[in-house]
Structure formats: C-alpha cells, structure tokens
Amino acid sequence: MWPFGKNTTDRIKDAINANPVLSPLGLNVQEQGGTVKVVGQVQHQSQVGLINAVVGGISGVKNVDVSGVSVLEQASAPADVSNVQMGDIVQQSAGAAQFDEKAFEDQSRIAKEVLSAVRGNGELTDNPIDVLQSGTSVVLRGAVDSDHELRLLQQVAQGVSGVTGVDVSGVSVRAGAKELSKEKDQSTGDTVYTVKSGDTLSAIAQKYYGDEMRYKDIAHFNNISNPNAIQVGQQIRIPG
C-alpha cells in the first residue's frame, strides 16, 4: 500500500499511467538513487515538459533525464488526445484537432509547483506525498500524521496558482507517517524496515497497513517461513 509498499519506479509508472496523454505512449522508466531516466517517443515537444512535470511530482525524485525521449512533431494531435478533457489543450480548428502548446505547458507545471509548495511547508515537508495532475486539478497520494495535516495539505495545494481542484482521497492519516517513510532503500526507493526489540510481524503490518493480518503478506514477500522468528536488526521489505 502506497506510500510504504511501492518503490519509486512503481510510483512513477503509476503516475504516468494515470495521465491520459502519457499513458498510451509506452514510455520506459528507470530509476536509481532519485535520478529517473525516461525512454520513448512523443508526438510533441511540450509532452517532454509534461513528462518532467509528472515524474517531478513524485516524492523522492531528484532529477529527470529525458535525453532518451525522441519527438515526432505532427500537425495534429493523436486521436487519444482529442478525447482528453484537459482544459483547452486541444482545440477544434478547420475540422481537425489542433494541439495547443501553450495551454499544455501551462497546465503541465502544476504538479511540480504543488509538490514544491508541500515541501516548503514546515509541517508537511517530510510527509511522503506524490502529486499527480489531471488537467488543472491535482490528485494527492501518500500519508500524513494527522487530520490537521490532511486539511493543511489540501489548503496548501489549493493555494497554488492555477489549481482548480484537489483530490485527497488517496491520502491516508497514519500516525508516525513521517518516520515510517524514512525507512527506505536509497538506491531503489523500496520501503525497508529494520526489526527492533519487541517487534512482531503483526505489529509491523499494523504500522504500515493499519491491518495486523497483513503480516502474512510481509512474511511471504520476504520468504519468512516462521513469522514468529524474526530477529533484531533483520531488514524486512514492505510489499505493495
């Protein structure tokens, strides 16, 4: 369960697949230590900017390398784009769907600006939050420590210029979210928990999922045959 059970690469792929313009393009994503390389082909130069915005809205991403993305400029937008409700990105002109570069670029910046605003807030800066964009609205995913922080998160996102809507249904309230999110494999973004004295798999499952019965998933994922035999100092990966 995001934000604790998905690595950075998987969350980037989720964000790309959730974007109706980028999803059909079959982009390849590789991530290492916060640097993301995207490979593939797009129809318009401004879609490269959209890749930067979408990937840059993911928590843990430090740099985006789009040198592997080639651009095939076309006079008209692909059929998929003409059906996308993203403000005025696509306009009908002379019977053909024309790609509005400026509107596209204006809207594609929003996710990164919202994430920047969240990171700039002292109470929210360490919360594991991803920002996805849907036209001029944003979809937030992740976890916060309290109901107060959830309300604050929504207010901060709504305060960003150009944002017309904020969806926080993908944000869970989880006490200790900030601390739990620090347990990361820095090379992959996988959530890795180090067993402490007194820990049990069911207690670990309760921390990450809010459901102690998910200990079975953790045991299976880590090839732990005896859930009662975990050791202090043992590192356990938390599955999605």
Tell me: domain 120-177, CATH 3.30.420, correct?
no
Return phi, psi of residue 123, to 5°. -80, -25
Report the pLDDT value the prediction gives residue 211, as an integer from 0 to 100: 85
pLDDT band for position 224 (cuts 50, 70, 90): very high
Is pLDDT above 50 for 86?
A: no
CATH class of the domain comprising 8-73+90-111:
alpha beta
Q: What is the DSSP string of the chain?
A: -TTTSS-HHHHHHHHHHHSTTTGGG--EEEEETTEEEEEEEESSHHHHHHHHHHHHTSTT--EEEEEEEEE---SS--HHHHT--STTSEEEETTEEEE-HHHHHHHHTHHHHHHHHHHTSTTTTTS-EEEEEETTEEEEEEEESSHHHHHHHHHHHHTSTT--EEEEEEEEE-TTHHHHHT-B-TTT--BEEE--TT--HHHHHHHHHS-GGGHHHHHHHTT-S-TT---TT-EEE---
CATH 3.30.300, the chain: domain bounds: 8-73+90-111
Report the pLDDT value the prediction gives residue 186, as an integer from 0 to 100: 61
The fold of 191-237 is Membrane-bound Lytic Murein Transglycosylase D; Chain A (3.10.350)
Dump pLDDT digits (tens) for 155-200.
999 999 989 999 999 898 888 888 777 776 666 667 888 899 999 9
Residue of higher predicted confidence among 26 and 56: 26
CB 67 within 8 A of CB 36: no
Report the pLDDT value the prediction gives residue 123, as an integer from 0 to 100: 93
CATH 3.10.350.10, the chain: domain bounds: 191-237
Is pLDDT above 70 for 84?
A: no
Is pLDDT above 60 for 203?
A: yes
Q: What average pLDDT does this structure show over 43-64?
A: 86
Is pLDDT above 50 for 88?
A: no
Report the pLDDT value the prediction gives residue 222, as an integer from 0 to 100: 92
CATH 3.30.1340, the chain: domain bounds: 120-177
Is pLDDT above 90 for 38?
A: yes
Dump pLDDT digits (tens) for 93-144.
333 334 555 565 566 678 888 989 999 999 999 888 988 877 788 899 888 9
pLDDT band for position 43 (cuts 50, 70, 90): confident
Q: What average pLDDT does this structure show over 30-54?
A: 88
Mean pLDDT of the chain: 81
Report the pLDDT value the prediction gives residue 28, as an integer from 0 to 100: 95
Report the pLDDT value the prediction gives residue 192, as an integer from 0 to 100: 85
| pTM, full prediction | 0.67
